[in-house]
Amino acid sequence: MPRALMIQGTASHVGKSVLTAAFARWLSDGGWRVAPFKAQNMSLNSFVTLQGEEIARSQAVQAEALGLEPTADMNPILLKPLDSGCQVIARGHPVGLMSIHDYYAWKGHAWRAITESYDRLARAFEVIVLEGAGSPAEINLREHDLANMRMAHHADAVVVIVADIERGGVFAQLVGTWELLSPEERRRVVGFLINKFRGDPSLLSAGLAYLRQRTGRPVLGVLPYDPSLALDEEDSLGLTATTPTGEIDVAVICLPGISNFTDVAPLARVPGVGVRLVSEAGHLRRPDLIILPGTRTTQRARAWLRACRLDDAIRAAAGQPDGPYVLGLCGGYQLLGHAIDDPDGVEAPGQSEGLGLLDVDTRFHRHKTLYRVEAEVLARGSLGDGCPVVGYEVHQGITQRRPGVAPWLRLRRRPGGDSSDDGAIRPDGRVLGTYVHGLFDDARFCRAVVHELRRRKGLPPLTDDAWERHRRAWAERYERLVCWLTQHCVLGPIVEACRLERGRC
């Protein structure tokens, strides 16, 4: 078996995903062949591998930090929550919709997929850095937990437990977690990390000493909050309701069941672009671009838009001669059309009417479309005019354009290589929709869109120097992550517990 290090947490959103990427990159920089792994992930933020497999976005980011092409073995079970139950993705492909009790009955199959995937990675890499899920000490869930200590036992992993001080009660989190672990589980724990600290670490001295005395384990580091280290969020807990300002104003509609919301993150990093989440009609105002992102519950999202009057607000904005661009991505694209029909109950049986801003109709199917794609913007004079783009498809709806409606993109799918037209564009070029995720991750497309939004507002284009500084800062984020880790964490106990030769880390 390879060496294995596991990052567990006292709760969700304490920083496990970021720290898994940080430790993995630190080990890789030390000369080890490293892979990330998360046995079971619950997330609506997914990614499609080159093999056409759907995995959580967080494992794709961790793979990117290591220069690896992600595979389904890095996240063998993905649970995508719905209004009732979850869609279960096993080894990258959907196996059905399950209630929690259905899933518990199926967990033997899930565990087999998990262990087979881990064992394949273990044969190919020298070190595996595993990410836990939620907390290992949830007494009501422990019998069914596949992602924490049961996985640590299978991998014979050394465990680090992380707590988030921003949430308050950090020592209660850590001591409470420790007290609920069994003696065998405690023996795996090499130490603790306190994450997202703001202020003077000396203020924690008494608590750190107490924790060491109570548990016999050290706090290996107090990691300062640093927003520049943020990686793609795993779930909607990472979304904030802040209202940033910029020369360009982008309003993202905060739909129920929002998925793949990292589609808009690259825009938020561009100088002069403010991206804000909108959940009330009165907060829409007069943006330069409205984005309806993906959602796993399209019909529920339609009802929510109607209830909060955002449907009328979006239609009114789109109807103004000098109004904003409106872009629908995946579920947002479906919402921009007319009919949304779900005869088989893929999401919820029945039919609803969309916003009617694009002359398209959607019908849900049980088959799931999973492809990496290369695309080109067909429509001239629209956002991204003629620009190439790389992205991915992950959807279960088929959307048909009505006669005379122009597509927006031409796709070439990988693997397979077949070409097809995708999306739709209103004749005036201001309302657009597509099934392609990751558009703004492609710097060519992102730059073309920002250039058009600035031109339309009478602003000069961003300089090449501004784009280069932006590109360089983003490219160096994993190096910054390792510097942050090594500066604020005592790594010797981990090196010793994992039997890592000091010359290689």
pLDDT tens digit string along 252-261? 999 998 988 8
pLDDT tens digit string along 320-330? 999 999 999 99
Q: What are the domain boundaries of the chain?
A: 3-231+476-504, 248-458
* DSSP annotation string for 101-146: HHHHHHHHHHHHHHHHHHHHHHHH-SEEEEE--S-TT-TTTGGG--
Centre a 10 Å sphere on the Cβ of residue 375 and count the other Cβ atoms it contains.
Answer: 28
- Nearest Cα neighbor of 253 from 236, 235, 277, 286 is 277
Average pLDDT in the 273-296 region?
94
Q: For domain 248-458, which architecture applies?
A: 3-Layer(aba) Sandwich (3.40)
Active site residue 330: yes
Q: Across the chain, what does the average pLDDT equal? A: 92
Average pLDDT in the 155-163 region?
98
Task: Give dist(CA 59, CA 72) in Å, integer.
Answer: 9
Could you please state the CATH topology (level 3) that the domain comprising 3-231+476-504 is classified under. Rossmann fold (3.40.50)
Categorize the per-residue pLDDT at 241 as very low, low, confident or very high, splitting at 50, 70 and 90. very low
Q: What angle do CA 33, 35, 36 make, to 5 degrees?
A: 155
Q: What is the pLDDT of residue 68?
A: 97
pLDDT higher than 60, residue 238 = no
Categorize the per-residue pLDDT at 237 as very low, low, confident or very high, splitting at 50, 70 and 90. very low
Q: Which two tokens stand for residue 46?
A: 């997914």
Task: Give dist(CA 492, CA 481) in Å, integer.
Answer: 18
124-148: b (≥16 Cβ within 10 Å) or e: ebebbbbbbbbbbbeeeebeebbbb
Do domains 3-231+476-504 and 248-458 share one topology? The answer is yes
65: left (phi over 0), alpha (psi -120 to 50) or beta: alpha
pLDDT tens digit string along 433-477? 999 999 999 989 999 999 999 999 999 999 988 888 877 877 788
Task: Give dist(CA 450, CA 462) in Å, integer.
Answer: 8
Q: Which two tokens stand for residue 58?
A: 């967080």
Contact by Cβ (8 Å): 121, 128: yes
Q: What is the pLDDT of residue 185?
A: 97
Residues in CB range of 468: below 8 A, 6 or more apart: none
Task: Give dist(CA 49, CA 301) in Å, integer.
Answer: 27
Categorize the per-residue pLDDT at 243 as very low, low, confident or very high, splitting at 50, 70 and 90. low
pLDDT higher than 60, residue 239 = no
Active site residue 505: no
Q: Which of 330, 387, 489, 505 is catalytic?
A: 330
Q: Which of 13, 154, 395, 437 is catalytic?
A: 437
pLDDT higher than 70, residue 232 = no
pLDDT tens digit string along 40-94? 999 999 999 999 999 999 999 999 999 999 999 999 999 999 877 899 999 999 9
